[in-house]
Structure 1
Amino acid sequence: MKTFKLLRLLAGLYLLVFITSCVEPFSPSTISYENLLVVDGKITNEQKKHQIKLSRTYRIDTTGYFPERNANLYITTNLNTKYQFSEIEEGIYESIESFSAKRNETYTLHIETKNGEVFTSNEETLTSESFINNLIADVEVNNTGDEVVTIKVSSASPNNDAQFYKFEYEETYKIVAPYYSNYYLEPYDYSLSGGSYKVRKLIRPVNKRVCYKTQYSNGIILTETTGLDEDRIENFPVRSFQTNDFMISYRYSILIKQFIQSYDAHNYYEILKKFSNSDNVFSENQVGFLSGNIKSISDPDEKVIGYFEVNSVSEKRIFINREDIRSTYISFPDECYTFAPTFYDISGARPLLDALLNGYIYFDENNNPNPDPLTPEGPYVVVKEICGDCTVLGSIVKPDFWID
C-alpha cells in the first residue's frame, strides 16, 4: 500500500521528467498538480483471481485515498484470450475467473475509465523463475546497539537467469489479553447528567482473550544478482524488528513472497524506492513524472502513473515462538494497571460508571473493598479495555494457515 501511495504522490509533484541532479533551488510554490490515473497491477504464475488497483493522484498538501471507480479493466493475450476484471471494492478490480500467467504468452492490460479515457500497457511476458529454499530468523545486534530479529531469505534460479528480485511479506502474530475475564459489567438505569445507576455482571457471548493480527510490508524491498557469478540469493534480509517487540510476545509467523521482475520493472521500482527513502523530496535529486509501461490511447499527452508486471512468484512461511528467540519476555503496547472504583465518592461523583463509560472493563471481583474515604475501593476491579479485550488489537478469527 505504501508503494501505491508513493505512485500517487509522485505525479502530484510533477517536477521533472526523470531524476536529475544539480538543479535550480526548489520552491514549494512551483509544484503543479495534475489529476492522473495511478495503476498498481501485476499478475503472476499463481492460479488465482488476480487484483489490480486504480486510483487518482492527490495534491501534496492533502491526504487520503482517491479510488478510480467504475472502470472497465481487462487483460488480453497474444492468443486472443481475454480476462475481464470487476470492481470488488472501491478502486480494487479482480479477475472474474482464476488464471495463471503462462510461458510463451504475452499479456496486455487495458483500462477504460468512466470518463472515457483509454489506457493500455506494453506487452509483458512471464519472468524467469527462482525458488525460495530457506527462511531463517537471526538474532543480531544492529548499528544502534539494539538486539533485533532479522528474517533472511535464500533462493536460487534453476536456469540462472532471474536476476531481479522484489519482496513482499505478510506477518501475523498472536495476541493474548493479559487481563481477560469471561464476564463484563453493563451499567443501566442511569443518566449522563448524574444521579443513581445500576450495574449487572454478564457472561461474555464471545471469548476475546486470544486474537491474531496480520499486517503487510509497506516499503519497496529489492535486490539483484547481476554482479554475481551465480543467480542465487543467500540470507538476504527482508524484515527486522527488535527482540522485545510485542509481535513476538507469543507466536509470530511471516510469509515471504518473492517476485522476479523484468529489467525495466526493476529499474522503475529502484527509482521509486530512492524517492520513498529520501529525507526531503525537495532535495538535489528531485523526482517528477516517472514513466512506466502504461500509456494513454485516447490522448497521447495524457500521463499515467504505475507499472503492469507479469511475475514469477515463490513464497515460503515460517513460525517463530518467543522462546525460539532468546527469552520468555512478554511486552505489551500499553501500560496495564487495575483499580477498583467505588459506585459513588464523597462528592457525589460516580467513579465506577465513569470508568465503564470511558474505556475500562471488568477484570475481577474485589473481595476486600476498602470503605476508607481517603483510599476508597469498590466491589469490582477494572482495567483498560486494551488490556482485557484482544479485539482492540486484532481479530478473534484464527487464520487458516495458523499452526499452534
Structure 2
Amino acid sequence: MRVNKKYILLLAISLIGAIAFQQCVEPFTPEIKKYSNLLVIDGTLTDELGKQVITVSRTSSYNDDEYIAENGCTITVMDDQGNIYPYVGKGNGKYEAEFYRGDLEYGRAYMLRVISNDGEVFESNYETLMPAPRIDSVTAVYGSKVTVELPDGLNGYQFFVNASDPSGNTRYYRWSMEETWEYRAPYRVSYMWNGTLHDFSFADDRSRCWKTAEIPGIYTGTTRNFSKNVLRNIKLNYVSTLTERLKWRYSLLVREYALSVEAYEFWSGLEEQTQETGGLYESQPYMVKGNITCMSNPNEAVLGFFSASGVTKKRIFVDPPPEDVNDLECPGDTISIFNPLLSYPESSYPVYLFEEKGSGIMVTAERRCFDCLERDGTNIEPDFWKD
C-alpha cells in the first residue's frame, strides 16, 4: 500500500473549512504534519502455499511522494492454535514467509505482530481465513471512454468482473489485478560497432518480449443489499490505445478475495477516498481506520489492515484493437560521411545497426529498438501465454 498524496489527505479528520469561503482563488497546499512519518502496514494472508509478503513503510509529507521503506522490523503471524510464522526482511520494506501444507486452514484465525525498528509493538485483530468463491467471468469491452482531459473520448478496453457465491458465505469482495503484455523490438540487428564493425546477432531471440506489472487501485464490491448473492459487470481497470500495451497481445489476471465485514469497510472506504473527484475539496476526507493497534503506545497512530482471505483467479486475453495503438518510436540514424561510426563515443557502445533493404546503407537507433530486454521485460514466454 504505497502512500501517496491522496492517501495522506484521506487520513485528515477535517480540512480548514474557511478556505471554501475565500473570495480569491489562490494556490493552496495544506499542511498535514500530524500524518507524516506514520507506520503503514500492508498484508493479506491468503490460502496459497509458498511465499507470502508483508510490506512496511512510513508516510511521507504531503509535498513529497517518496516511498519510505521501513526495514529492520521483526514480523510474525500467529494463529489461534499457537503456531508462529516468522517473516524475513528482503529489503525495500518487504518481508517474506514460507507457508506449507497444513499452515493455512479455513476457519482458523490469524493475527499479525510487527515490532518496528524503533521498538514499538503493533498487533492486528485476529482474522478468520475464509474460502473465496470462484470468479464467474472476466470480460472486456472495446469502446470510447470520456475523461476530463479528453472530452472527445479515449479508445481502449474496459475490463469487468462477474462474481457470485451460491453458498451465501461471501458477501464482501475485493479484486486485485496483474497485467502482462507482449511487445517487440522493431529492428533486427545485423552489425555491431564497438570501435570495430562486426557481423552480429543475439544468441537468443531479442525481438519479442513480455512484461508483467501489478495494477494500482482498489476495487471492492458487496451483495449485502441484494436479494441474490450476485455481482455483475463490476468495473475494473481501463487500458487505452495511448499505451503500447495493446499493440500485440494483452492479458489480465484477476484475483478475487473473500473479505470480512471489517476488511470490506476498510478497503471500500479507502477506495472511495482515493477515487478521482472533480475537485480536491468536493468531499470531506476522513480517517480510514484499520485493524492494527500500537500495543506499546496506544496513542501512536498506525495505518493499514491485515486480512486473511482465500483467493481465486481468472485470466483473460484480448487481441489488438481495430484502431492504431501507440508504439515505441524508433527513428533511424543513417550512417554516412556526415554521420560516421567513428563519431559515436565509447559511452554509446555497443552500437547496433541494420542494413536498409539490401542497399548497403547502415542504420542505427537506440539499443531498445533492437533488443527488447532493454525495456525491462523478459524474452522467456510465460507458461500461461496464448497466441
Q: Work out whether residues 260 and 313 of structure 1, in 8 Å CA contact, stay in contact via their aligned partners in 2.
A: yes
Q: Work out whether residues 110 and 126 of structure 2, in 8 Å CA contact, stay in contact via their aligned partners in 1.
A: yes
Once the two structures are superposed, residues 250-309 of structure 1 have per-residue CA deviations (whole angstroms, 9 ceiling, x without a partner) of: 222111101122222222222222332245885253435432100011111111110001
Look up the SS of the partner of 1:300 in the other structure.
Answer: coil
Sequence identity, in percent?
25
CA distance in 1, matches of 2:11, 2:153: 40
Once the two structures are superposed, residues 180-201 of structure 1 have per-residue CA deviations (whole angstroms, 9 ceiling, x without a partner) of: 22x342231xxxxxxxxx4333
- Find the counterpart in structure 1 of residue 88 from structure 2: 86
Of the structure 1 ranges 36-45 and 22-31, higher mean CA displacement relative to structure 2 is found in 22-31
Question: Which amino acid is 2:12 matched to?
Answer: L
Residue 320 of structure 1, CA deviation = 2.6
Aligned residues: 371
- Find the counterpart in structure 1 of residue 24 from structure 2: none
Residue 208 of structure 1, CA deviation = 1.0
Once the two structures are superposed, residues 15-63 of structure 1 have per-residue CA deviations (whole angstroms, 9 ceiling, x without a partner) of: 32xxx58934386464214422110011112223221101111112223
Q: Work out whether residues 161 and 231 of structure 1, in 8 Å CA contact, stay in contact via their aligned partners in 2.
A: no
CA distance in 1, matches of 2:16, 2:373: 52
1:2-81 to structure 2, matched below 5 A, reads: 3-6=1-4, 10=7, 15-16=12-13, 23-25=17-19, 28=29, 30-33=31-34, 34-81=36-83
CA distance in 2, matches of 1:305, 1:58: 13
Of the structure 1 ranges 243-252 and 105-114, higher mean CA displacement relative to structure 2 is found in 243-252
Alignment match of 1:305 (pick from 278, 303, 312):
303
- Find the counterpart in structure 1 of residue 373 from structure 2: 391
Against the structure 1 CA distance between its residues 184 and 303, is the aligned structure 2 distance closer, same or farther, given a 3 Å change threshold?
farther
Against the structure 1 CA distance between its residues 386 and 49, is the aligned structure 2 distance closer, same or farther, given a 3 Å change threshold?
closer
Against the structure 1 CA distance between its residues 4 and 244, is the aligned structure 2 distance closer, same or farther, given a 3 Å change threshold?
closer
Once the two structures are superposed, residues 307-332 of structure 1 have per-residue CA deviations (whole angstroms, 9 ceiling, x without a partner) of: 0011121111122333xx5x4x6644
Against the structure 1 CA distance between its residues 234 and 279, is the aligned structure 2 distance closer, same or farther, given a 3 Å change threshold?
closer
Question: Which amino acid is 2:302 matched to?
Answer: V
Look up the SS of the partner of 1:204 in the other structure.
Answer: coil
Alignment match of 2:352 (pick from 355, 361, 370):
361
Question: Which amino acid is 1:255 matched to?
Answer: L
Residue 403 of structure 1, CA deviation = 3.2
- Find the counterpart in structure 1 of residue 23 from structure 2: none
Alignment match of 2:334 (pick from 319, 337, 340):
340
Against the structure 1 CA distance between its residues 203 and 30, is the aligned structure 2 distance closer, same or farther, given a 3 Å change threshold?
closer
Alignment match of 1:150 (pick from 158, 180, 205):
158
Q: Work out whether residues 257 and 313 of structure 1, in 8 Å CA contact, stay in contact via their aligned partners in 2.
A: yes
1:93-108 to structure 2, matched below 5 A, reads: 93-98=95-100, 101-108=104-111
Q: Does 1:213 align with 2:211?
A: yes
Against the structure 1 CA distance between its residues 367 and 312, is the aligned structure 2 distance closer, same or farther, given a 3 Å change threshold?
closer
Q: Work out whether residues 107 and 130 of structure 2, in 8 Å CA contact, stay in contact via their aligned partners in 1.
A: no
Question: Which amino acid is 1:117 matched to?
Answer: E
Against the structure 1 CA distance between its residues 71 and 21, is the aligned structure 2 distance closer, same or farther, given a 3 Å change threshold?
closer
Question: Which amino acid is 1:61 matched to?
Answer: N
Look up the SS of the partner of 1:104 in the other structure.
Answer: coil
- Find the counterpart in structure 1 of residue 113 from structure 2: 110
Look up the SS of the partner of 1:41 in the other structure.
Answer: strand
CA distance in 1, matches of 2:343, 2:120: 58
- Find the counterpart in structure 1 of residue 139 from structure 2: 136
Against the structure 1 CA distance between its residues 131 and 177, is the aligned structure 2 distance closer, same or farther, given a 3 Å change threshold?
same
CA distance in 1, matches of 2:95, 2:206: 34
Alignment match of 1:187 (pick from 194, 216, 223):
194
User: TM-score by structure 1 length?
Assistant: 0.81
Q: Work out whether residues 72 and 116 of structure 2, in 8 Å CA contact, stay in contact via their aligned partners in 1.
A: yes
Q: Work out whether residues 42 and 311 of structure 1, in 8 Å CA contact, stay in contact via their aligned partners in 2.
A: yes
CA distance in 2, matches of 1:401, 1:165: 25
- Find the counterpart in structure 2 of residue 119 from structure 1: 122
Question: Which amino acid is 1:140 matched to?
Answer: G
CA distance in 1, matches of 2:154, 2:63: 36
Of the structure 1 ranges 97-106 and 305-314, higher mean CA displacement relative to structure 2 is found in 97-106
Against the structure 1 CA distance between its residues 15 and 145, is the aligned structure 2 distance closer, same or farther, given a 3 Å change threshold?
closer
1:154-233 to structure 2, matched below 5 A, reads: 154-181=162-189, 183-188=190-195, 198-233=196-231
- Find the counterpart in structure 2 of residue 193 from structure 1: none
Residue 92 of structure 1, CA deviation = 0.8
Q: Work out whether residues 49 and 98 of structure 1, in 8 Å CA contact, stay in contact via their aligned partners in 2.
A: no
CA distance in 1, matches of 2:213, 2:247: 16
User: TM-score by structure 2 length?
Assistant: 0.85
1:253-402 to structure 2, matched below 5 A, reads: 253-279=251-277, 283=281, 285-287=283-285, 289-322=287-320, 325=321, 327=322, 331-342=325-336, 344-345=337-338, 350=340, 353-354=343-344, 361-364=352-355, 367-368=358-359, 379-393=361-375, 394-402=377-385
Stretches of structure 2 lacking an aligned partner (at least 5 in a row): 21-27, 147-151
Residue 214 of structure 1, CA deviation = 0.8
Q: Work out whether residues 173 and 214 of structure 1, in 8 Å CA contact, stay in contact via their aligned partners in 2.
A: yes
Aligned Cα root-mean-square deviation (Å): 3.0
CA distance in 2, matches of 1:243, 1:184: 33
CA distance in 2, matches of 1:271, 1:281: 18
